[in-house]
């Protein structure tokens, strides 16, 4: 893939496609990539390409394509974070070879998609995405959706990232070599652009937290904001490694004092 910053800043969610079929060569590249996607939790995330006609799939917010990708994960602790990490790896790769995507967790015929994914009782398909070539012009509906959630804007750096504790905002200057990886976190996609990640940076570690919002948890979808945190972890790790940082993943709560609506997720140790 090209540089992670170029992909992250260049990518956008695509709901309007040009109607052209993806080439066989591109399908082969996507299939090869999805077969080897991993995540730091070591939880298997199984991908599957889905033909809308074959499986009678419907998604009212998508037009111009009949191809989707779904993924399923065992219903175990940290399934959401693992799913988010692995699915975002696929999303970024797809964009890098010219394939548009959009994270879809709710606005779909979920029973049909779950049947197409052949879910076992202990498995969940948290999200899916259409696949195709982006249309040169967005539909009116897509334009309105993006405007409603302010899709092209992000919260300021010092409202998302903190220096040592949640009492002290972190500036880009103070972040130093972590500034670019954190900026990639800032530009990560999230459900209705809530940007629920909060990060506390210490001398030897970077700790990720979820600032919860009500309405993002369901029996079939799990906690979609934890999926968002998986996306953020993916962006941070890819950018950190690209910048030559030696990091190690763990999930040992550092015990930093937080608000009641804020939950520890994971850390990267700086080695």
Averages of pLDDT over runs of 10 residues in the chain (271 residues) are: 85 94 97 98 98 96 96 98 98 97 94 97 97 82 62 86 97 96 96 95 96 89 96 98 96 95 97 94
Would you say how long the chain is, in residues?
Answer: 271
Give CA–CA dist 139/158, Å, rounded. 35
Contact of 249 with 232, CB cutoff 8 Å = no
Q: Which of 208, 216, 239, 251 is nearest to 43 (CA)?
A: 251
The confidence score (pLDDT) of residue 219 equals 86
pTM score > 0.85 for this model? yes
The confidence score (pLDDT) of residue 150 equals 60
Q: Which of 263, 167, 245 is nearest to 207 (CA)?
A: 263
Residue found under tokens 């010219």: 98
The SS3 call for residue 193 is helix
- The two beta strands, 123-124 and 161-163, are unpaired
Q: Is the dihedral of CA 265, 145, 150, 66 positive or negative?
A: positive
Q: Which of 247, 222, 22 is nearest to 131 (CA)?
A: 22
The confidence score (pLDDT) of residue 161 equals 98
Give CA–CA dist 107/64, Å, rounded. 16
């Amino acid at each position: 893939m090209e540089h992670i910053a170029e992909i992250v800043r260049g990518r956008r969610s695509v709901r309007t496609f040009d109607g052209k079929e993806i080439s066989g060569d591109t399908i082969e590249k996507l299939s090869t990539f999805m077969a080897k996607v991993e995540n730091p939790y070591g939880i298997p995330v199984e991908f599957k390409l889905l033909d809308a006609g074959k499986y009678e799939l419907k998604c009212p917010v998508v037009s111009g394509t009949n191809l989707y990708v779904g993924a399923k994960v065992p219903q175990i602790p940290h399934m959401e974070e693992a799913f988010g990490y692995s699915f975002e790896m696929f999303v970024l790769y797809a964009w890098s070879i010219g394939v548009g995507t959009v994270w879809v967790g709710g606005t779909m015929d979920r029973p049909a998609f779950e049947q197409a994914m052949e879910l076992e009782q202990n498995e969940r398909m948290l999200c899916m995405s259409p696949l195709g070539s982006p249309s040169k012009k967005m539909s009116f509906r897509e334009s309105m959706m993006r405007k409603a959630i302010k899709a092209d804007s992000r919260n300021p750096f010092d409202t998302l990232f903190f220096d040592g504790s949640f009492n002290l905002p972190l500036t880009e200057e103070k972040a130093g070599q972590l500034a670019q990886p954190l900026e990639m976190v800032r530009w990560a996609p999230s459900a209705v652009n809530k940007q629920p990640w909060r990060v506390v940076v210490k001398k030897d570690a970077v700790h990720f937290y979820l600032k919860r919002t009500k309405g993002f948890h369901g029996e079939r979808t799990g906690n979609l904001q934890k999926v968002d945190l998986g996306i953020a972890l993916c962006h941070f790790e890819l950018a950190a490694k690209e910048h030559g940082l030696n990091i190690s993943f763990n999930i040992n709560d550092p015990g930093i004092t937080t608000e009641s609506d804020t939950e520890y997720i994971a850390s990267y140790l700086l080695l």
